[in-house]
Amino acid sequence: MRVVRQRDWVKYLPDDFTIYFSLKTLLGQVVSFSVVLIKNDECISRYDTAHGFAHRDILGRKSPSPIDKQVYDHIILKEVFNHAVADFSQNYAARHEYYGSH
């Protein structure tokens, strides 16, 4: 029997930003994930595999639902996950600025 492994963890960034991670793997291969950027208990943006495909939900403070979805359907899940980690780790302030103005 093959078991899906799930790991959850948190990364704290400057200026009270936080990234929450959830990663599921099977035999070392990413099968699903969620990478969520939070500030002041608000979800600023998120990458995940909900709906059966990898994407980033582009959110705005004034909008009750995602403004847009940035789809990553030509990249393997591990690469999208790594991109999400790097994006939020480096661009958290820019993502927050966009969120606040929409």
Burial state string for 2-16 with b = 16 or more CB within 10 A and e = fewer than 16: eeeeeeeeeeebeee
Question: What pLDDT, on a 0 to 100 scale, did the predictor assign at position 31?
Answer: 96
Over residues 84-101, the pLDDT tens digits come to 999 999 999 999 999 999
Domain positions in the chain:
5-101
Question: What pLDDT, on a 0 to 100 scale, did the predictor assign at position 75?
Answer: 93
Amino acid (one-letter) located at 77: L
> Terminal CA-to-CA distance of the chain, rounded, Å?
47
Low-confidence spans in the chain with pLDDT less than 50: none
pTM for the model stands at 0.94
Query: Which sign does the torsion angle of CA 51, 28, 75, 91 carry?
Result: positive
Tokens of 37: 């950027």
- Rounded CA-CA distance 3/16 in Å is 35
